[in-house]
Structure 1
Amino acid sequence: MTARIRPLRLEAFEQLPKHARRCVYWEVDPSTLGTEDHLSDPEFEKEAWLSMVMLEWGSCGQLALECRDQPGETGDEPCLGYAFYAPPRSVPRAGRFPTGPVSADAVLLTSLGVDAGPGHEDLSHALITAVVGDLVRRGVRALEAFGRTAAVDELGDVADVPPDVRPVVEVLGDCATSTCVVPSDLLLDAGFVVVSHHTYFPRLRLELEQGLGWKAGVEAALERLLESAQLQQPVGAGASPCS
């Protein structure tokens, strides 16, 4: 199965998987809701956040879409994966991590989700590659992320976790640190390095000057699964992105 990766446009919001549309783990600070433990319309909150970031800063997401036989986009291609990223000032949850703050010269990679189906194993790296490519073109110096270690799976109820971790594991709706925070091992495999150590939630960094070489290496490794033209040729540049 082939896939193409393109920047997220607001009109493609409905193509995101249900959890990605409803997840507001990074976008809403639970402490701002008082005694409420839920949102009446999380999809509205997520779409509003995307709209705000796109208006004020620019592209903040990448989509991996299944390629079909017909040329061009139809708007209903299955979404195989997604990545969200933004300046840390636009990410309320970033201020709650014990390994913060995010470096002043970095953009924060918040969410990364991939369909677990066969043939999709390398889409996580392909999505990070697309994020890196976008940020390099925009002159960003580094990409950082808060990672989740395997030790998180051993945490109990919120009331029993260490005090510095409690603000991280407080969630809304169907969000959870096990699905909304990128695994540290995945980030390390992608070339990130730990810049602030923590048992549960380290902060990792990818220097984008190094990322140029890393990007080329990942794309070469993906040639068996993804046509390089699908990752590099923008939609509307001539041939169909899935041809």
Structure 2
Amino acid sequence: MATRITPLRLEAFEQLPKHARRCVYWEVDPPVGGGGDQLADPEFEKEAWLSMVMLEWGSCGQLAVECRTDPSDGEPLPVADDDPCLGYVFYAPPRSVPRAVRFPTGPVSADAVLLTTLGIESGQNSDTLPHTLIAAVVADLVRRGVRALEAFGRTAAASELTGLPSVPQDVLPVTEALGDCSVEQCVLDADLLMDAGFVVVSHHTYFPRLRLELEQGLGWKAGVEAALERLLESAQLEQPVGAGAGVGV
């Protein structure tokens, strides 16, 4: 089997893991949802949000899928809708992400797109696959002329919030969740982001805001250029007429 990164299509919504389909931590404001137990259909809400962002802005997700190979030559076959999902990542303009305004280190910079969620399925390489998914996001945004990618990070200290007798007032809006969402699952690890080249632009004990400049690339410059070269070469080789193509990794 081969692993391929491909832009998320709405038709591939069912390929997402269960939590990714039901997680609306970033997409639905808790007061609107009325509380975790009162959100009737989180999958509908998530699919509706994806549809809205794709229609208004364009691609807002990347999937890592396990695609089949041709038994005759070992070459990867085109991505199919039933290929297993190994990992995923979502990103969008901050105006489309209600939760973004609740973080004490906001707002997100006007020239940046917000990286919201990254998930890796159990048993997959958690050392390299997250970086590969972020590289696909960077490559997509560079092609679209976006200047920066930002994200709210979760520090190691944030895991201690549930054990505190009272949660600090400035993070209460962050810890309010919907359904089976939680800060631990739905907010990106700050160390992972820094390993990927992000730098902290707004410090906080629990939820700093980090930024990756796409013009200079910071530590990613060589990697982004190499990823772009591979991605564009793959797209030219594999893209069928009139359709988006998956990206070979």
Q: Determine if contact 1:4/1:231 at 8 Å carries over to the other structure.
A: no
Residues 46 and 232 (structure 1), Cα distance of their counterparts in 2 relative to 1, 3 Å cut: farther
Residue from 118, 132, 141 that aligns with 2:138: 132
Residues 171 and 121 (structure 1), Cα distance of their counterparts in 2 relative to 1, 3 Å cut: same
The CA deviation at 1:107 is: 0.3
Corresponding residue number in structure 2 for 1:60? 60
Aligned equivalents of 1:91, 1:230: Cα separation in 2 = 28
Q: How many residues in Structure 1 have an aligned counterpart in Structure 2?
A: 237
The CA deviation at 1:56 is: 0.3
The CA deviation at 1:38 is: 3.0
Q: Determine if contact 1:129/1:215 at 8 Å carries over to the other structure.
A: no
Which segments of 5 or more consecutive residues in structure 1 lack a partner in the other structure? 223-227
The CA deviation at 1:4 is: 0.6
Establish whether residue 38 from structure 1 lines up as the match of residue 38 from structure 2. yes
Corresponding residue number in structure 2 for 1:12? 12
Residues 64 and 210 (structure 1), Cα distance of their counterparts in 2 relative to 1, 3 Å cut: same
The CA deviation at 1:214 is: 1.2
**Residue type matched to 1:88 in 2?**
P
Residue from 144, 153, 157 that aligns with 1:147: 153
Corresponding residue number in structure 2 for 1:236? 239
Aligned equivalents of 2:147, 2:213: Cα separation in 1 = 6
Corresponding residue number in structure 2 for 1:114? 120
Which SS does the other structure have where 1:109 is aligned? strand
Corresponding residue number in structure 2 for 1:103? 109
Corresponding residue number in structure 2 for 1:173? 179
Residues 160 and 45 (structure 1), Cα distance of their counterparts in 2 relative to 1, 3 Å cut: same
Aligned equivalents of 2:46, 2:149: Cα separation in 1 = 22
Which SS does the other structure have where 1:186 is aligned? helix
**TM-score with structure 2 setting the length:** 0.86
**Residue type matched to 1:67 in 2?**
C
Taking only the aligned residue pairs, the percentage that are identical comes to: 71
Aligned equivalents of 1:229, 1:90: Cα separation in 2 = 30
The CA deviation at 1:74 is: 2.4
Per-residue CA shift, 1:184-217, capped at 9, x if unaligned? 0000000000000000000000000123871642
